[in-house]
Structure 1
Amino acid sequence: MLHFIDTLDASGARAAAGRVDPGLPLAGVPFLIKARTPAGSPVVTRLLAAGAIAIGTSTRARLDADSQTFGWNGRDFTRNPWDLSRSPGGSSAGAAAAVAAGVVPIATGGDSAGSLRIPASFCGVVGFKGTAGRVPRPGGRSLAGLMTSGIIGASLEDVATATSLVSGPDRLDPSALPRWPVPELSAGPWRVAYTATLGRHSADPAVDRLVRGSLAGFVVQDPSLSWLAVDDAWLTLRALDAGKDVDGAVLREAVRVRNHNSTALADLFDQVDALVTPTTLTVAHGYNRHEDNIMVCDLCWGFNVTGHPAVSVPVGLVDGLPVGAQVVAPHGRDDVALSVAASIMTPLSPPGFPLPG
């Protein structure tokens, strides 16, 4: 019905469960691995070392698709538990659908343009992209640093715990940030800036109203943010990460955009603790209409370019579908992003799919 499994390893999961040390921090916790995750990825090996049980791999978009906001298991599209006619987002599509349906409490994903946060928003769960380098990469430091491995989960606390367990340098990526202890989330008070647009597009008015309304009780200001659209810069940096030839002048322009936006955010964070936006411009689109929604990542991918921590949490429903709020914090202040997110999050559970306790 939901088509969130790419491959299932039931026998391997049962065997691992029989061997697990009950004293480990994630002993017996089932999880899904995003399909095509490289072998030996620290985000996987460290969850396994903590006692979690991999039950298989989750669906993601086809590699040749222009837009990655869908999932495909080789036969059918992955569906959103809130509405089977809708997409769960992508590219970590199966991860978000499985977590929202209560099948697993956590799943791994990757995020180079919002691929943890967008499916989390569409499915009403939590998706966290830590500061660049928070989670070690299987291929070591990349040239542009867009991609961050991370966790999708039903609970903000579970996501923070799992991220802590997979953080820290690894022999595959010794340049990763130091190990990140599980933060103690604070109730504030927090000063936040809010915007419904970053670049060429604005969030749907109903989405905008709901996310802005989640900030009642906060000291909120409209940001004076000199933000440059990142469309071309992101495409250039993605090509660089893929090892493609990139014209020097084009690359210098991409770096200029990245540095400009990083400085603009530094100036903003001198005035406020966090920036809040809708995670996506709209609620989930049709499961087979992803090519009509290329700009679904418009509020997300700029923070892959700059490397800031960003988390999406559910804050309510529009037309019966989940809406996510994205919280962005200064470099290294992942704890602030999660603390603000905890203050505005509204846990959601799709009808007929109770979240795991």
Structure 2
Amino acid sequence: MSELHLLSTEQLITGLQDKKFSSLELTDHYIKRIDALDSKINSFITHTSETARAQAKAADEMRAQGDNRLLLGVPMAHKDIFCTQGVLTTCGSKMLHNFVSPYNATIVSNIDKAGMISLGKLNMDEFAMGSDNSSSYYGTVQNPWNLERVPGGSSGGSAAAIAAGFVPVATGSDTGGSIRQPASFCGLTGIKPTYGRVSRFGMIAYASSLDQAGSMGRSAKDCAYLLQPMIGHDPLDGTSIKHDIPDYIQDIEDAEAAAGDKPFAHLRIGVAKEYFANGLDSEVEQAVRAALKKYEELGATIVEVNITNPDITLSTYYMLAPAEASSNLSRFDGVRFGYRCENPKDLIDLYTRSRSEGFGPEVQRRILTGTYALSAGYFDAYYTKAQKVRRLIVKDFDDAFANCDVIASPTAPTAAYKLAEDLDPATMYLGDVYTIAVNLAGLPALSQPVGLTSDGLPIGLQLIGKHWHESELLSTAHLFQQHTDYHLQHSAIAKETV
């Protein structure tokens, strides 16, 4: 029982079905670990232990009565960007330090209906703006692989909690790489689905045309289990798209059953030289190229494709995303929503102090950048031009996918960097250089672990798919993981027993 947290989601499901342990025993195991070890990691903002125990008891009773929901009684946790009825939802910000949502985000309701047990709300970069989880009002999150390193961001709390063995799976959100980059830094698998695949209702907006919820776990199959109840059309979300709903687990199992010695015999992997340019760490490049070689050994064909220069996508993203953020966050003004300053002198003082005290430096920086881009006299020169470039980025992906099935790249140019490393904002933004184009194009993408640096830090490989092809990405990563053991390696914290 002391190593329950090292089991995969599938093993947990089987254990519950075979009555090897109860949901309450499993939930207590995770809660005990969180209580004992999270002081080292700071992955949780809010704990819901008592509610979780009550849910677990109910799950055990329902299972005894014949309830056969696959995920019934399996623990998980939510990134603190998703509204949870009756539970604090802060978005990692002082601006929402006391906000208790009166309703659930759609994905929270869907996961509840699947019978999963929520252990709490996970730390994150403030309003999902950051790449290292250092901008949170609730403190920096540490990487379980090395406590002197960042876990990535903005879903750093989600990644750290899984890597530390506090939960088997967790929700995340991805606006420019916020699931994939922390998955890479923490040795996990994480998937951002096609834009519109998962409802955004109840997910606090950063950049509405880029935000998408997804799942994180140690393996592709872990991700598939959690993603399954999250997907589907939602009439409450105007950006939710009606589309066929796949069975991710069945698709993975079908792919595995059909796989022979060369499971990727019909797979064409596109590799773009633009993703292997200056700035890529040599150890990261070596691990990614070794993984691609493994794909080739398993039957895949590597083809060269051309993608928009990452420097162009970076500039486009950091024009559009802050513009949308400045609009979305305007509601947090001390009058309508959010933190209100004490004893304002007048209305202007109320607005100014509430926002300057409620928002951290990075959020303020992006709001100001976006406001400038949208201002009269600059709108056409910056925002409109960036939207035109965005359309060209989509076209470049369409052209590339005419010659391949998936596109592979490093997830991030480096492994996890040191905490409190003095990075200027522009340097920090470069950490998303390989991931942001996917959000601009609305494509699905996945990060999977493919090795460790000489310092023992995880390295991730990104797989980018065609619209609506999450099953292909999950199945591809799963088959790769049947022939490698990168996803089975555990952090130092995960190996600790309590």
TM-score, normalisation: structure 2 = 0.66
One-letter code aligned to 1:157: K
Q: 1:144 Cα deviation (Å)?
A: 5.3
| Rg larger in structure | 2
* Structure 1 CA distance for aligned equivalents of residues 308 and 115 of structure 2: 45
Q: 1:71 Cα deviation (Å)?
A: 4.8
- Residue 398 of structure 2 aligns to a residue whose secondary structure is helix
Check whether the contact 1:4–1:71 (CA below 8 A) recurs between aligned residues: no
Which residue is equivalent to 1:309? 444
- Residue 150 of structure 1 aligns to a residue whose secondary structure is strand
1:57-105 CA-to-partner distances (Å, cap 9, x unmatched) read 1111235x97432256756421111111111111111110111112111
- Residue 353 of structure 1 aligns to a residue whose secondary structure is helix
Check whether the contact 1:29–1:53 (CA below 8 A) recurs between aligned residues: yes
Which residue is equivalent to 2:289? 212
2:320 maps to which of 237, 242, 257: 237
* Structure 1 CA distance for aligned equivalents of residues 422 and 217 of structure 2: 23
2:125 maps to which of 48, 55, 61: 61
- Residue 27 of structure 1 aligns to a residue whose secondary structure is coil
1:98-150 CA-to-partner distances (Å, cap 9, x unmatched) read 11112111111111011100110000011100111111111699985100011
RMSD: 2.5
Q: 1:32 Cα deviation (Å)?
A: 1.2
Q: 1:33 Cα deviation (Å)?
A: 1.1
- Residue 45 of structure 2 aligns to a residue whose secondary structure is strand
TM-score, normalisation: structure 1 = 0.91
2:140 maps to which of 74, 77, 87: 77
1:136-184 CA-to-partner distances (Å, cap 9, x unmatched) read 1116999851000111112211211221211011232154233532231
- Counterpart mapping for 1:215-294 below 5 A: 215-216=292-293, 217=297, 218-227=300-309, 229-242=312-325, 243=327, 246=374, 247-289=379-421, 291-292=423-424, 293-294=427-428
Check whether the contact 2:41–2:143 (CA below 8 A) recurs between aligned residues: yes
Answer 1 or 2: which has greater helix percent: 2
1:27 maps to which of 49, 61, 72: 72
- Residue 305 of structure 2 aligns to a residue whose secondary structure is coil
Which residue is equivalent to 1:6? 45
Which residue is equivalent to 1:350? 491
Which residue is equivalent to 1:50? 114
* Structure 2 CA distance for aligned equivalents of residues 142 and 297 of structure 1: 16
Corresponding pairs, count: 354
1:270-315 CA-to-partner distances (Å, cap 9, x unmatched) read 1111110010100001122274551111100111111111000101
* Structure 1 CA distance for aligned equivalents of residues 167 and 54 of structure 2: 18
The change in CA–CA distance for 1:66 and 1:127 in structure 2 (over 3 A counts) is closer
Answer 1 or 2: which has greater strand percent: 1
* Structure 1 CA distance for aligned equivalents of residues 473 and 133 of structure 2: 26
- Residue 222 of structure 1 aligns to a residue whose secondary structure is strand
* Structure 1 CA distance for aligned equivalents of residues 435 and 82 of structure 2: 22
Deviates more, 1:167-176 or 1:129-138: 167-176
Check whether the contact 2:221–2:474 (CA below 8 A) recurs between aligned residues: no
Which residue is equivalent to 1:338? 474
One-letter code aligned to 1:323: I
1:252-285 CA-to-partner distances (Å, cap 9, x unmatched) read 3122211111111111111111110010100001
1:298-346 CA-to-partner distances (Å, cap 9, x unmatched) read 1001111111110001011112110000000111112222233224443
Check whether the contact 2:220–2:478 (CA below 8 A) recurs between aligned residues: yes
1:220-259 CA-to-partner distances (Å, cap 9, x unmatched) read 1332334461223212322343326621342331222111
Check whether the contact 1:146–1:237 (CA below 8 A) recurs between aligned residues: no
Percent of aligned positions that are identical? 30
Q: Do residues 18 (structure 1) and 29 (structure 2) align?
A: no
- Counterpart mapping for 1:124-163 below 5 A: 124-138=187-201, 145-163=209-227
* Structure 1 CA distance for aligned equivalents of residues 151 and 140 of structure 2: 10
Check whether the contact 1:196–1:277 (CA below 8 A) recurs between aligned residues: no
Which residue is equivalent to 1:324? 460
One-letter code aligned to 1:204: D
- Residue 136 of structure 1 aligns to a residue whose secondary structure is coil
Consecutive unaligned residues of structure 2, counting only runs of 5 or more, are: 1-39, 85-103, 256-262, 328-369
Which residue is equivalent to 1:102? 165
Deviates more, 1:340-349 or 1:69-78: 69-78
